[in-house]
């Protein structure tokens, strides 16, 4: 129903890619966060909610290797949400805006019958034709991720199960509430002439990798022993009897980058090689008999 | 908290205005529509809801004299909203997209705990420095509106009071559900070297004119006898005992353009002169002792 015009990439990637006449491609991403689905209003610090709303959108620009430029925020505010909450939430949003140099240029504020709802639109840019796409993986590519996986999911588990507040659980909860968009990393990948596909990890590797495989028409083999797991995640799993693989593969909201590079290319940034793209359609988890699925929001 | 960078117009107008290096200004508008506040899901045809969500955003680009280029849609869908409703709503959105040549290039779809919520972002453009602003009215300017005022408010009244379905009420209800963004008209105004301020009428003339007066630091005198009222509105008011001035000034969602032209400039399009900008800060309603306020959503 919604064909994109010639030369424009519309629905199906982390951002739309719109060529301009000045040799720059405009990148656009939009994401809606609503109470009871993406966050629990009475369990999140408002300042963290504001940060997170901005950060997860900036992460979509990072996923394309772009530079985020400016943002737009729509807010639907229920009657029982006080001004102090909104003011602190906007402080968190402003923290992210300042930190990443992405001014808030507009938006909309209205009443909500029930749920606090935020919609963020981010505009970014990259040199024409240089955006990293989900569809650009080729058989033989090595598969990488930045950072570590599963920390955010462990933090969410600590929150939902009201586990004791310790330095360990607090560090993981912070990973859940305070995602760091990998903007510089995305640009480093995009600048690499041997880059393949890329996206950001919002729904868990098991789910997100499938998007790349589908868009690229490939399969993959993932070495489970190579997954980057933080010492905090491993401590947490020992202490609370959780499965690190489950958290790392099926937990969401890491906002790390998942990307591929052509064979023999040295990665231009610190990252972990976790497998390779194959010519079949299968996704193989080396080291386990299990299959893994992605993350479901509340 | 949110300063715009040098040369960029951020919060405070119908759109943000962002200069590019190719001599074009990008215009961005974003609006959130949520059930129970902006529409009643069980009282609106889904196809009309889809049209309206697109049209009211395109109207913001029209208000700046710009050309809308593409759109982005976020949807939060409650469990009790069936696929048929969403499919028809998307048909209405696609109708508007085709009609105005503004492809849908991306978005987000998620669950909602309660209310059906749509957020539309529209990108548009205009030649550098040519966007029509709310702040550009000067004392002595003549004040104009396109079309007729109050029809949408009469249609809403017919809906909310479940008035009998007649050709008259149906025509007015259609004006409420099927707003027509004044895109060509906005561009004609922007092309006029003697154009002043402009905005679209979403909350009623009594409310929206005050935004222009505040942004421009002026007052105005409005000739109530000069307000363009449709024969349908007058018939409706006679039949159902409503006040046409109340509907025309305080009713919302006409999506006509309100604009000013420097003295002695012939308007470049069909429109009605309804008053003039004055150097005081007062808003005077010539022909009435009453004051008029704007429209409140549900």
Domain of A202 in residue numbering reads as 134-286
Contacts of A32 in chain B (CB under 8 A): 74-76, 108, 110, 117, 119
Q: Write down which residue in A85, A103, A127 finishes a domain.
A: A127
Nearest CA in chain B to A95: B1
Residues A78 and A142 grouped into a single domain: no
**Domain's final residue, options A127, A148, A177:** A127
Most confident of A31-45, A61-75, A106-120: A61-75
* Residue B198 included in any domain: yes
Instruction: With CB atoms and an 8 Å threshold, state whether A115 touches B114.
Output: yes
Q: Do A113 and B10 touch (CB under 8 A)?
A: no
- Chains A, B: CB contacts under 8 A, how many? 179
CB-closest option in B1, B18, B119 to A74 = B119
pLDDT at A294 (0 to 100): 63
Tell me, yes or no, whether A47 lies in a domain: yes
Count of structural domains, chain B? 2
Residues B112 and B167 in one domain: no
Q: How far is B242 from chain A (nearest CA, A)?
A: 27
Q: Model confidence over A42-59: pLDDT tens digits?
A: 888 999 999 999 999 999
Among the candidates A75, A100, A127, a domain finishes at: A127
Q: Tell me: the pLDDT tens digits for A269-293?
A: 999 999 999 998 899 999 887 878 7
CB contact under 8 A, B106 and A26: no
What element of type H or E holds B184? Answer: helix B183-190
Q: Point out the residue among B10, B20, B70 whose CB comes nearest to the CB of A103.
A: B10
Whether residue A5 lies inside any domain: the answer is no
Whether residues B112 and B165 share a domain: the answer is no
CA B258 to each of CA A263, B142, B168, B211: distance values in angstroms, whole numbers, following the listed order:
60, 11, 26, 11
Q: Which residues from B are below 8 Å from A1, CB to CB?
A: 90-91, 94
- Quick one: A44 and A152 in the same domain? no
Averaged pLDDT in 10-residue chunks for chain B of 298 residues: 82 88 93 90 91 96 96 95 95 96 92 93 96 96 98 94 95 94 97 95 94 96 96 97 94 95 94 96 88 62
Question: A188-191 contacts: CB < 8 A, separation 24 or more?
Answer: A188/A268, A188/A269, A189/A65, A189/A132, A189/A257, A189/A259, A189/A261, A189/A268, A189/A269, A190/A64, A190/A65, A190/A66, A190/A126, A190/A130, A190/A131, A190/A132, A191/A65, A191/A268
Mode of pairing for the β-strands spanning B104-112 and B67-78: parallel
In a domain, A28, yes or no: yes
pTM here is 0.90
Q: Is a pLDDT exceeding 90 seen at residue A137?
A: yes
One domain for residues A223 and A263: yes
Residue B207 sits in the same domain as residue B246: yes
The residues, any chain, with a CB within 8 Å of residue B107's CB and separated by 6 or more, are A11, A30, B72, B73, B74, B75
**CB-closest option in A10, A35, A72 to B121:** A72
pLDDT in tens, A154-203: 999 999 899 999 999 999 999 999 999 999 999 999 999 999 999 999 99
Assess whether A141 and A113 both reside in one domain. Answer: no
Same domain, A164 and A49: no
Domain harbouring B142, CATH code: 3.90.650.10
Q: Are residues A149 and A255 in the same domain?
A: yes
Residue B113 pLDDT: 87
Q: Which comes out higher in pLDDT, residue A11 or B185?
A: B185
Residues A213 and A268 in one domain: yes
C-alpha distance from A57 to closest chain B C-alpha (Å)? 11
- The CATH number of residue B22's host domain is 3.30.1330.10
DSSP B79: T
Q: Which ipTM value was assigned to this complex?
A: 0.88
């Amino acid at each position: 129903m919604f064909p994109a015009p010639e030369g424009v990439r519309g629905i199906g990637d982390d951002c739309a890619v719109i060529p301009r006449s000045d040799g720059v491609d405009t990148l656009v991403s939009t994401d809606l966060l609503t109470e009871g689905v993406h966050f629990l209003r009475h369990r999140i610090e408002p300042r963290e909610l504001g940060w997170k709303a901005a950060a997860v959108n900036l992460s979509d620009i990072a996923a394309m290797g772009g530079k985020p430029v400016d943002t737009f925020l729509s807010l639907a505010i229920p009657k029982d949400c006080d001004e102090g909450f909104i003011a602190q939430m906007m402080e968190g949003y402003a923290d992210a805006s300042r930190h990443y140099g992405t001014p808030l240029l507009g938006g909309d504020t209205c009443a909500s019958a029930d749920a606090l709802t935020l919609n963020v639109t981010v505009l970014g840019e990259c040199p024409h034709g240089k955006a990293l796409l989900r569809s650009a993986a080729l058989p033989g590519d090595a598969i990488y991720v930045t950072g570590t996986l599963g920390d955010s999911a462990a933090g969410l588990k600590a929150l939902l199960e009201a586990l004791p507040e310790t330095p360990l659980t607090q560090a993981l909860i912070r990973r859940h509430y305070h995602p760091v968009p990998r903007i510089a990393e995305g640009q480093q990948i995009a600048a690499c002439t041997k880059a393949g596909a890329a996206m950001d990890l919002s729904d868990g590797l098991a789910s997100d990798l499938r998007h790349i495989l589908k868009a690229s028409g490939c399969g993959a083999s993932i070495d489970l022993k190579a997954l980057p797991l933080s010492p905090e995640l491993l401590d947490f799993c020992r202490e609370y009897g959780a499965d690190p693989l489950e958290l790392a593969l099926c937990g969401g909201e890491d906002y790390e980058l998942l990307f591929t590079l052509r064979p023999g290319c040295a990665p231009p940034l610190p990252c972990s090689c976790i497998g390779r793209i194959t010519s079949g359609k299968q996704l193989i988890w080396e080291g386990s008999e299990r299959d893994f699925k992605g993350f479901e929001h509340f």
